[in-house]
A and B are shown apart, each in its own frame.
Chain A
Amino acid sequence: MFDKERIAEIKKEKERWEQTTLQDWTKQCNERKEDFRNTSNVSIERLYTPEHISSLDYIHDIGFPGEYPFLRGVHATMYRGRLWTMRQFSGFGTAVQTNQRFKYLLKEGETGLSIAFDYPTIMGYDSDHPMAQGEVGICGVAIASLRDMEALLDGIPLDKVTTSMTINGPAAMLLAMYVAVGDQQGVPRGNLGGTTQNDNLKEYFAQKLCIYPPKPAVKLTTDIIEYCTKHLPRWNPISISGYHIREAGSSAVQELAFTIYDGITYVESTMKRGLKVDDFAQRLSFFFASHNDFFEEVAKFRAARRIWARLMKERFHAKNPRSMWMRMHVQTSGCTLTAQQPLNNVTRTTIQALAAVVGGTQSLHTNSFDEALALPSENAVRVALRTQQIVAHESGATQTIDPLAGAYYIEALTNKMEEKTFEYIRRIDEMGGAIVAIEKGFFQKEIADSAYKYQREIEEMKRTIVGVNDYKIEKEETPIELLRVDPKVEKEQLANMHELKQERNKKKVEEVLGKLRRSAEKNENLMPVIIESVKAYATLGEICEELRQVYGEYKELIII
């Protein structure tokens, strides 16, 4: 972007500066650290100048929003045209309670729904399963059957609202229930919009909510991608996730690289079914975390877009530009929230939200300040939503597209993230792909080492966490109202289930479950028969158990 001569001059001038002005300064006062590093282990330099980006070509490497390589954004007008979707992940207790929280959020200005399910639901257990005792409705909403889904979405127009469902192992079942409710509301299937997380690969080394072993899990994920491509064109069948990888302790570049590799794996598995990349790639979506190092995060989001665009074009030969879009949802980081002096978390969330916006996200969830202590209270979640609204309307970050482009630091860091990501991609390719890497414990070891290193840095005071290892206060005050899930929820849910099992047509349920098993044994796409099963009011647990019989259960490989 700069001519060689000018760069040489700048270099000379910088050397002069270092030997005079800088030296005078550092004689009086040393720098605070010997080495400033970010989480991706990139050594951050004192100063970034045009030298750092001299090899970049604006047109080919940076380009224009809405055009390859999409570094500056997937849409041509970005937030000047339309703000990101403010989508707060929520759910607790019974379907009725969560339905109320949804309505509250929509009233306060949320623009899309995001459902958090309870642990039994996520693991494919009904609320009356022995493993579910004490867990029903505690971390999310309990959905054991279509009847619960009907209550959850009561009064919510599925042709006007898009919904994201954080569900992986039983994603097909929950999607089937959503489709069934859409059918009941009379919404054409082609108009149903939303996302199922449905990213089973990362479960094995990050979120750990695995039911079946890797091969059948990838098959189920691909079933959903295939089905949506053909029948639910507005639905994002998958949200390829890095958030959980980061929360498990990875660095920013590991989050980026492992997520993208999972994406590569899913593209390959879908193409193996005979679909052409341009048939389905435009509906693949991504999900990242946003952490405290503002600049590292912005570089990460930007690099993600360019890396994915390049992969889709060069590795998968996509022709349609839309296939090269990386559309992302971002959630501010949960693991950076502290239990100590919780109000500080509002500041953290704000920095993280701003990074996501400056980084060009399509959708954003902001955590509430009390989330290191409990699920968010109504007041706290309102503050979280307001944070997004203040960033949107008061910060000026949305006035122009990709505001930090061209900043020497940002472009240098973006390049570095891309370089390191491609290095990881090469390594995992050589290993034989994601499933082999999982079996060898590669991802698990990388993440465990990063997590341990992070903890050591905190304990050795090489990394400050305000309020935790420094700037502590004698007596902590807990914010007054913490959300507590009423233990009656479990009793209520058990009663609901009992009622359902009495009222439904048992014979029909038996028949359809048999059909499901046979279909699974024949390795067919299971979505149609799963939709049939939920409509017959087979429970989530019954459907998942049928598949456990066919696929087996996964036991994890532990690397600390």
Chain B
Amino acid sequence: MEKTRKIRVLIAKPGLDSHDRGAKVVARALRDAGMEVIYTGLRQTPEQIVETALQEDVDVIGLSILSGAHKTQFPRIMQLLKDQELTDVMVFAGGIIPQEDVADMKRLGIKEIFGPGTPTKDIIRYVMKNLPKRN
């Protein structure tokens, strides 16, 4: 029997932002690259996102936000991940996150920000290359 370590990714839409075209295109691209993608749907609270990451035991979380509310949502999500000892999960983000906020977001622990126009293959390559070792 072949061992299949599948990469499990959670794509999440925090807050009230309802633009999901990008999140869905990325989810599909990751699926087509052989990953198992769990999508939370719209309007998730930080608690829902982190709890989902926990139950689904994901390797990667992709946060999508275009509403400008990342400065409130992301710190809360990252804190909850810490509280749940999920710091070995890789977190990336996409959407509309101004250049001047990127440094702050990275300081919170978000590994990379993929802005508008990022090819999906760049995201796939990044995930494959930087997959966390799970303990």
Contact of B18 among A138, A209, A482, A485 (CB under 8 A): A209
Distance in angstroms from A289 CB to nearest chain B CB is 13
Contact of A208 among B20, B28, B69, B73 (CB under 8 A): B20
Contact assessment for A119 and B28 in the assembled complex, using a CB-CB cutoff below 8 Å:
no
**A482:B68 contact, CB within 8 angstroms:** no
How far in angstroms is the closest Cβ of chain B from A140? 10
Within 8 A of B (CB), among A86-145: 119-120, 122-123, 125, 130-135, 138-139
For the side of the interface on A, what is the size category?
35 or more
- The B interface is mostly helix, strand or loop, or mixed, namely loop
B116 to A, closest residue via Cβ = A339
Partner of B116 from the list A372, A482, A558 (CB cut-off 8 Å) is A372
Q: Which of B15, B41, B43 has a CB less than 8 Å from the CB of A134?
A: B15
Please report which residues of chain B, range 2-20, place their CB below 8 angstroms from some CB of chain A when the two chains form the complex: 15-20
Number of A-B residue pairs having CB atoms within 8 Å of each other in the complex: 92
**Quick check: which of A401-409, A420-428, A450-458, A494-502 contacts chain B, the rest being far away?**
A450-458
Q: How far is the CA of A555 from the CA of B41 in the complex (A)?
A: 9
A436, CB-defined interface residue at 8 Å:
no
Contacts of A209 in B (CB 8 A): 18
CB under 8 Å from chain B, chain A span 330-372: 335, 338-340, 372
Q: Is the CB of A119 within 8 A of B17?
A: yes
Interface size on B, residues (CB 8 A): 33
A59 to B92, CA, bound (A): 59
Of B82-90, B117-125, B126-134, the one touching chain A: B117-125
- In the assembled complex, which residues on chain A have CB atoms less than 8 Å from the CB atom of B67? 119, 135, 138-139
Q: Do A120 and B16 contact each other (CB < 8 Å), given the known contacts A134-B71, A455-B29, A468-B117?
A: yes
Q: Is B99 an interface residue (CB 8 A)?
A: yes
Pull 12 A–B residue pairs with CB atoms less than 8 Å apart, ordered by A: A119-B16, A122-B16, A125-B16, A135-B67, A135-B72, A138-B67, A138-B68, A139-B68, A372-B116, A455-B29, A459-B119, A459-B120
A560-B28 contact given A119-B67, A135-B67, A469-B119, CB 8 Å threshold: yes
Q: Would you call A373 an interface residue if the criterion is a C-beta within 8 Å of the partner chain's C-beta atoms?
A: yes
Given known A249-B21, A373-B98, contact A558–B15 (CB-CB < 8 A): no
Chain A positions within 8 Å of B121 at CB level? 459
Instruction: Report whether A338 and B117 are in contact in the complex, using a CB–CB cutoff of 8 Å.
Output: yes
CB-CB nearest in chain A for B70: A134
CB distance from B127 to the nearest CB of A (A): 16
The residue of chain B having its C-beta at the shortest distance from the C-beta of A449 within the complex is B28
Query: Which of B27, B73, B119 has a CB less than 8 Å from the CB of A458?
Result: B119
Give every chain B residue within 8 A of A560 (Cβ-Cβ). 24-25, 27-28, 31, 39
- Annotate A522-560 by CB proximity to B: 1 below 8 A, 0 otherwise: 000000000000000000000000000000000110101
A208 CA / B43 CA spacing, docked (Å): 10
B18 touches A208 (CB 8 A): yes
Q: Which of A223-260 contact B (CB under 8 A)?
A: 247-249
Q: Are A455 and B25 in contact (CB under 8 A)?
A: yes
Q: How far is the CA of A247 from the CA of B43 in the complex (A)?
A: 19
Give min CB distance, B96 to chain A, whole Å.
Answer: 7
Chain A residues with CB under 8 A of B27: 560
Is A151 at the interface (CB under 8 A from chain B)?
Answer: no
CB contacts under 8 Å to B, within A433-484, are 448, 451-452, 455, 458-459, 465, 468-469, 478, 482
